[in-house]
Chains A and B, each alone.
Chain A
Amino acid sequence: MSPDALLAELGWVIAAAAVALLATRPLRLPPVLVYVAAGLVLGPVTGVIHPSESTHLIGEVGIALLLFLVGLELSPAAIRDVGRNALVIGGVQVAVCTALGALAGHLFGYTVLEALLLGLAVAFSSTVVVVKLLGRLGQLTAPHGRLSVGILLVQDVVVAIVLTLMAGLGSAGNLSTGAVLEGVGRAFGGLAVLVGVAALAARLVLPPLVRWMARAQDAVLVWSLTWCFVFIVAAELLGLSVELGAFMAGLTLAPTVVHGELRRRVQPLADLFLAIFFVVLGAELQPGAAFESLPTVLALIGLVLVAKPLVLGVLSRWAGRLDPRTSTLTASTLGQMSEFSFILAAAAVAAGLVADELVSIIGLAGVVTIGISAALVQSQATLWRRWGPARRAAHDGTSEAGDGDRPARLDHTVVVGMNSLGRRLVEALVARGERVVAVDTDPFKLEGLESETLQGSTDHWSVLTDACVPEARLVVSALRIEDANSLLAYRCCNLGVPVGVHAFDQSVRADLEALGVDYLMDSKREGARRLRDSLIELEVLDG
């Protein structure tokens, strides 16, 4: 394929995704669903694109980046927190759901291997869809969010085992106990090695690297992506999934000072590549073949939407001893099929183990369940609030991220840019007893301040919300960066938050005044006053 053809293909994919997303914005549909629908139009309906290997690679990178982001969000403490529950609930759930699915497959008259594949397809939930949805809703760090991600990761490990097994089966063609044991051993061995390497790297390599990255803003993205890809390649070498590698890479970076900045920088790339992934996914579906086996498809959908959440809910409530809200939300969050279900089916077909039609069946059931569950996840918090038992308030309440409406701060002052001026302002405001949030891109410039601190560039909208700028009583920028100051001033003025900006040069005054800035700190003119005072002190001038 010629490079220009790739550009054309990407052009179509992105344009379709963008048009679909922007056109359906008033409906507030989950983007995942919109992208798959756009893909259906581009692929099976109109035949405009036939996804190439390169677009697949981009999609794969998108998934990796998403898992990298998940790792970045979670701290090892949070993992330990839900680790045991996730292991128990996830493990039992996968076993039970696989059995249920396989039973259904057997009843529909499929072979043992085909039935098993259908069972696995039911058991796995979609890491990509869930993380993307929860991330958008700000629920990733909520109790049900953390548990869901934990269970998804347990499922990922099972996927890795199954994929390893399948590779062995393809060549051997039989399911001997030795092969199974070898596959399981390899997957767990690989995981142990990866975790060991990650822990070692986090201790030895990372600290100097992070110190360096924090000061080299241009290189932060490339360095962190390199870190991510090294883990991915290592995971691949160990026979594990790309996702697990990327997740481990993110996890090692999560406790470092740069994690917030990394998240903000990786997010746009992940958004773009994932949009491509989902459009391509939609473009490759063959709904025609699946309609011929409609009963199987409907049975799968029923199992995924009803049986799986039930199993999960019961396990969380009784085995995990979790409160009803967390149990219910976790269960409904995971009620869809995974992209791995497709990948597994495709791999099984390629190895000649099962009939071709299974890919389409699983594909259709997958898209339908993803669509329905996405809509459900989006509204589940509201549904729970309205229909759930009233006593839930005693359990959570304020600890719930995402659907709490109360801001974390109110009537505070945000000071941006920790140069001499910014630090001086923070010190003085803190001394006056004010609540101050100091913001800078360099975490080392935030050290030793007595105020709250936030690392990041105010060019990112999310930094403004993290600093609760809309609720602030005043925002002050000491930066000597024209564009950053103008953007901050523009946004604050739109929000109606009073803003003072450092006018470090006469040439920047006019624009800032036009934006409606409340106060201009004219360091040069004030410097003249200070110089005159110094001359008086030197007795060159009379007071």
Chain B
Amino acid sequence: METLALFLIAAAGGHFAARALGVPSTPLLLVAGFVLGATGLDAGALVQETLVLGVTALLFIAGVELDPRRPQRQLGAAVRVGVGQFLALAALGLGAASLLGWDPLSAAYLGLALSASSTLVVVRILQRRHEMFEPFGRLTVGVLLVQDLLLIALVPVVDRMTDGTAAVALGLAGTAALVVAAWAASRWVSPLLLRLERDGEALLLGVLLQLAAFLLATALLDLPLAVGAFLAGVSLARFPVSAVVRPLLTSLGDFFTALFFTALGVLIGLPTPDEAIQALALVALLLVATPILVTLVGEAAGLAARPAVEAGLLLAQASELSLVVGLLGLERGILSESAFTVLALVTALTMLLTPIVATDRVTVWLLRFHPFRNPGGHAGDLPRRAILLLGAGSTGMPLLAALRRAGRDVIVIDDDPAVLGRAAERGAVVVRGDASSPETLATVADVTLDVVVSTLRRTHDNRRVLAAFPNVPVLVRVFDEQEARWVQAEGGIPVLTSDAAAEAFLDWLAGWDAGERPPGRQSSVSPSTT
């Protein structure tokens, strides 16, 4: 009980530091574990047991997050980017490990470990920035999904590498069988859990029964249990099952994740200088190689320059699954403790650096070195006098239509060719480029602008736009009142979409109360009686 309490106190400290520094908690939990281990704590078997339970819980929950519908239309691009990054990074990791003098087997483990990015870290950042639903957000989530799957599929391969081709083939076949089982369970078994929705206790046990069944099957197939735990999660990943079970699993996940990473820190202990140098070299490799790779593959898959760079920066870290792969290597006696320490350090450091590296500022700065950066070219002549519309998404397009109906000349700047095509059809003069960069905006320097309308989402971008047009009224679309105050203070005119949406909703509600049926669905409830 006391040791458990110490683990929790360390984990709480890690969470606190993470919050104070504004970085993900995972690496700081590891650090808290280092510190706890350095005090000479004799945790005994608890560390090992926590690690096994933690890995199982972590992978199970990672599996539940693997909803194939998340990337939506970006799935194709995500597969290409995911596979590309995975293979290239695995090769680079393999090469780097060989250069550092690791034996081939350890190098293979390292290659596999470094090839995926962290779902835990990236999804949290995307959620906090409200970017999950942006095209590049969906792409990034899709990439993570593809990588996780690839990694799990390859775990049995590296696990059996020393046992010959037949063993590897059997391992792959077993994994394939489990994947099929997961798919079948997600269709026919998991939906039964929905009947338990209102009884949290029964639901939780039902979910864990499914996990136990998968673990048993994995043990019978003699595969690493991590694979079974992950696929058990995948069998629950479809909506609405995933959404219903998530709150229960979040509690277990928070608890076991905190204990797992802390225990891992205790296990590793403080690195030697040599280990630290190797780790730093690998960190540098990941930070440089990932953005370049993702940008290249991403643009080939049809992304514009900026989202490609953003995705690249976001994906530049090792994954929590890297640690799982490392633990497996350690357990099999293939990875030395020193090699595992290096791997854990790389993971912790890259995760720590992600929120610092993946920012608008760094993206914009990197774009300056982008060789094929769009120069802001435009089709057709620019009008002498026009309205400038920055971004033509779901706000910009209907506005463009209204402006054109009123007979106004409109210049649209956007970096998505498909969007520009549609804008051109509606009669706008289109400029392709990053709508907030001064160079792109310079394209329209000779045009007399009546007004600038910005539908850009990022504060950083709008700041640059407001600075570029000090003498023209600039309307800025914002969602929240805080942003609106900020825009006003910077000299712009905020237009609150939340306000507009609320007004429209209240109109609908008034109509409904007056006796109109709700559109879409016939409701059995009659709200007009109140």
Q: Contact residues of A with B, CB < 8 Å? A: 1-4, 6-8, 10-11, 14-15, 17-19, 21-22, 25, 31, 54, 57, 60-61, 212, 216, 218-219, 221-223, 225-226, 229-230, 232-233, 236, 242, 264-269, 271-272, 275, 411, 419-421, 424-425, 428-429, 457, 459-462, 473-474, 476, 478, 480-483, 486-487, 490, 493, 496-498, 500, 502, 504-508, 511, 513, 516-519, 521-532, 534-535, 538, 540-542
Nearest neighbor of B393 in chain A, beta-carbon distance: A524
Q: Contact residues of B with A, CB < 8 Å? A: 1-2, 4-5, 8-9, 11-12, 15-16, 18-19, 25, 45-46, 48-49, 51-53, 56, 69, 72-73, 124, 127, 130, 132-134, 138, 197-198, 200-202, 204-206, 208-209, 212-213, 215-216, 219, 225, 239-240, 243-244, 246-252, 254-255, 258, 387, 393-399, 402-403, 406, 408, 450-451, 453, 455, 473, 475, 477, 479-482, 493, 495-506, 508-509, 518-521, 523-525, 527, 529-530
Q: Give chain B residues whose Cβ lies under 8 Å from the Cβ of A19.
A: 209
Q: Give chain A residues whose Cβ lies under 8 Å from the Cβ of B133.
A: 482, 504-505, 507-508
Q: Give chain B residues whose Cβ lies under 8 Å from the Cβ of A522.
A: 394, 501, 504
Nearest neighbor of A267 in chain B, beta-carbon distance: B200
| Interface residue from A18, A219, A486, A540 paired with B206 (Cβ < 8 Å) | A18
Q: How far is the CB of A491 from chain B (nearest CB, A)?
A: 8
| Interface residue from B204, B402, B525 paired with A532 (Cβ < 8 Å) | B402
Cα distance, A416 to B250, chains bound together (Å): 20
Whether B1 contacts A486 by the Cβ 8 Å rule is no
| Interface residue from A225, A236, A530 paired with B1 (Cβ < 8 Å) | A236
Q: How far is the CB of A488 from chain B (nearest CB, A)?
A: 9
Cα distance, A4 to B1, chains bound together (Å): 21
Cα distance, A534 to B402, chains bound together (Å): 13
Cα distance, A358 to B206, chains bound together (Å): 37
Beyond A230-B5, A502-B501, A531-B395, is A541–B406 a contact (Cβ under 8 Å)? yes
The 8 A-B residue pairs with the shortest CB-CB distance, nearest first, are A527-B497, A18-B209, A3-B52, A421-B498, A229-B5, A219-B15, A487-B243, A526-B500
Whether A496 contacts B505 by the Cβ 8 Å rule is no
Whether B495 contacts A531 by the Cβ 8 Å rule is yes
The contact sample of 24 A-B pairs, CB cut-off 8 A, is A7-B52, A14-B209, A22-B202, A22-B205, A57-B1, A61-B1, A218-B254, A219-B19, A233-B5, A265-B251, A420-B496, A421-B501, A461-B198, A496-B524, A498-B525, A498-B527, A507-B138, A508-B133, A516-B521, A519-B508, A521-B502, A521-B504, A528-B395, A534-B495
Cα distance, A495 to B51, chains bound together (Å): 41
| Interface residue from B49, B208, B529 paired with A14 (Cβ < 8 Å) | B208
Q: Give chain B residues whose Cβ lies under 8 Å from the Cβ of A57.
A: 1, 4
Q: Give chain A residues whose Cβ lies under 8 Å from the Cβ of B11.
A: 222, 226
Whether A535 contacts B205 by the Cβ 8 Å rule is no
Whether B258 contacts A222 by the Cβ 8 Å rule is yes
| Interface residue from A268, A461, A542 paired with B406 (Cβ < 8 Å) | A542
Nearest neighbor of A132 in chain B, beta-carbon distance: B201
Q: Give chain A residues whose Cβ lies under 8 Å from the Cβ of B524.
A: 496
Cα distance, A532 to B205, chains bound together (Å): 54
Whether B255 contacts A222 by the Cβ 8 Å rule is yes
| Interface residue from A15, A216, A221, A486 paired with B251 (Cβ < 8 Å) | A221
Whether B215 contacts A541 by the Cβ 8 Å rule is no
Nearest neighbor of B18 in chain A, beta-carbon distance: A219
Cα distance, A516 to B523, chains bound together (Å): 10
Q: How far is the CB of B422 from chain A (nearest CB, A)?
A: 13
Q: Give chain A residues whose Cβ lies under 8 Å from the Cβ of B247.
A: 264, 268, 457, 459-460
| Interface residue from B4, B73, B455, B505 paired with A425 (Cβ < 8 Å) | B505
Whether B12 contacts A223 by the Cβ 8 Å rule is yes
Whether A540 contacts B502 by the Cβ 8 Å rule is no
Whether A21 contacts B202 by the Cβ 8 Å rule is yes
Known contacts A236-B2, A526-B504, then 9 further A-B pairs from the complex at CB < 8 Å, ordered by chain A residue: A3-B51, A18-B212, A219-B15, A518-B523, A522-B394, A527-B497, A529-B398, A530-B495, A540-B408
Whether B498 contacts A420 by the Cβ 8 Å rule is yes
Cα distance, A483 to B240, chains bound together (Å): 9
Beyond A242-B1, A534-B493, is A219–B25 a contact (Cβ under 8 Å)? yes
| Interface residue from A6, A21, A31, A219 paired with B49 (Cβ < 8 Å) | A6
Q: How far is the CB of B75 from chain A (nearest CB, A)?
A: 12
Whether A6 contacts B53 by the Cβ 8 Å rule is yes
Whether A7 contacts B395 by the Cβ 8 Å rule is no
| Interface residue from A269, A420, A497, A498 paired with B480 (Cβ < 8 Å) | A420
| Interface residue from A519, A530, A535 paired with B500 (Cβ < 8 Å) | A530
Whether B9 contacts A528 by the Cβ 8 Å rule is no
Whether B518 contacts A498 by the Cβ 8 Å rule is yes
Whether B72 contacts A226 by the Cβ 8 Å rule is no
Q: Give chain A residues whose Cβ lies under 8 Å from the Cβ of B52.
A: 3-4, 6-7
Cα distance, A265 to B53, chains bound together (Å): 19
Q: How far is the CB of A241 from chain B (nearest CB, A)?
A: 12
Beyond A25-B202, A502-B501, is A517–B520 a contact (Cβ under 8 Å)? yes
| Interface residue from B53, B205, B240, B497 paired with A486 (Cβ < 8 Å) | B240
Q: Give chain A residues whose Cβ lies under 8 Å from the Cβ of B480.
A: 419-420
Cα distance, A342 to B96, chains bound together (Å): 60
| Interface residue from A22, A229, A516, A521 paired with B505 (Cβ < 8 Å) | A521
Cα distance, A485 to B397, chains bound together (Å): 25
Cα distance, A61 to B209, chains bound together (Å): 21
Q: How far is the CB of A215 from chain B (nearest CB, A)?
A: 8
Q: Give chain A residues whose Cβ lies under 8 Å from the Cβ of B530.
A: 411, 473
Cα distance, A482 to B387, chains bound together (Å): 34
Interface centre among B72, B198, B397, B500 (most CB of A within 10 A): B500
Beyond A11-B216, A221-B251, A473-B525, is A530–B499 a contact (Cβ under 8 Å)? yes
Nearest neighbor of B24 in chain A, beta-carbon distance: A218
Nearest neighbor of B389 in chain A, beta-carbon distance: A531
Cα distance, A470 to B394, chains bound together (Å): 34
Whether A523 contacts B240 by the Cβ 8 Å rule is no
Cα distance, A233 to B2, chains bound together (Å): 6
Nearest neighbor of B213 in chain A, beta-carbon distance: A15
Q: Give chain B residues whose Cβ lies under 8 Å from the Cβ of A511.
A: 69, 239
Q: How far is the CB of B129 from chain A (nearest CB, A)?
A: 11
Beyond A11-B212, A22-B209, A271-B201, is A490–B497 a contact (Cβ under 8 Å)? no
Whether A534 contacts B475 by the Cβ 8 Å rule is yes
Whether A527 contacts B395 by the Cβ 8 Å rule is yes
Cα distance, A420 to B67, chains bound together (Å): 30
Q: Give chain B residues whose Cβ lies under 8 Å from the Cβ of A487.
A: 239-240, 243-244
Cα distance, A461 to B202, chains bound together (Å): 13
Q: How far is the CB of A81 from chain B (nearest CB, A)?
A: 28
Whether A540 contacts B451 by the Cβ 8 Å rule is yes
Whether B518 contacts A519 by the Cβ 8 Å rule is yes
Q: Give chain B residues whose Cβ lies under 8 Å from the Cβ of A496.
A: 523-525
Cα distance, A493 to B387, chains bound together (Å): 43
Beyond A7-B215, A496-B523, A519-B508, is A226–B497 a contact (Cβ under 8 Å)? no
Whether A526 contacts B497 by the Cβ 8 Å rule is yes
Q: Give chain B residues whose Cβ lies under 8 Å from the Cβ of A530.
A: 495-497, 499-500
Whether B519 contacts A518 by the Cβ 8 Å rule is yes
Beyond A218-B25, A268-B248, is A526–B503 a contact (Cβ under 8 Å)? yes
Q: How far is the CB of B505 from chain A (nearest CB, A)?
A: 5
Beyond A219-B19, A421-B502, is A528–B398 a contact (Cβ under 8 Å)? yes
Cα distance, A21 to B408, chains bound together (Å): 69
Q: How far is the CB of A205 from chain B (nearest CB, A)?
A: 13
Whether B394 contacts A225 by the Cβ 8 Å rule is no
Nearest neighbor of B520 in chain A, beta-carbon distance: A518
Nearest neighbor of A427 in chain B, beta-carbon distance: B502
Interface centre among B51, B212, B497 (most CB of A within 10 A): B497
Cα distance, A61 to B8, chains bound together (Å): 13
Cα distance, A469 to B285, chains bound together (Å): 52
Cα distance, A516 to B240, chains bound together (Å): 14
| Interface residue from B8, B477, B509 paired with A225 (Cβ < 8 Å) | B8
Q: Give chain A residues whose Cβ lies under 8 Å from the Cβ of B408.
A: 540-541
Nearest neighbor of B70 in chain A, beta-carbon distance: A482
Whether B51 contacts A525 by the Cβ 8 Å rule is no
Q: How far is the CB of A263 from chain B (nearest CB, A)?
A: 11
